Amino acid sequence: MDEQIVDSALDTADVKPPPQDTEVRLVRLKDLPLSCPLPGDEVWNMHPRVYLPIDDEPSGELTCPYCGTRYRLQRS
């Protein structure tokens, strides 16, 4: 008879994702190229850095595909 060993540290059934920041982060032209997470953010617990081509977007808005952070380009 095989005994199954279950490690409770690996049980993710009750783990909830971190809350998403729904506030739009303003980015200025001098801050381009835009990357998420931003250079000043603590990155030890975040996703890999990705560059977002916000200046190519007609609306001037983009959402990070990893974390859902919303950015808006302030063109003036």
Give the pLDDT confidence of 28-54 residue by residue, as tens digits. Answer: 999 999 999 988 887 777 888 999 999
Burial class (CB in 10 A: 0-12, 13-18, 19+), 36: buried
Predicted confidence at residue 39, as pLDDT, reads 84
Q: 0.95 cut: is pTM over it? A: no
Calculate the dihedral angle through the C-alpha atoms of 6, 8, 13, 16, rounding to the nearest 10 degrees.
-160
Overall number of domains in the chain: 1
The mean predicted confidence, pLDDT, of the chain is: 84
Whether 10 is covered by a domain: the verdict is: no
Q: How far is CA 64 from CA 32, 59, 73, in A?
A: 15, 15, 14
Whether 61 is covered by a domain: the verdict is: yes
Range of the domain at 37: 21-74
CATH of the domain at 32: 2.60.260
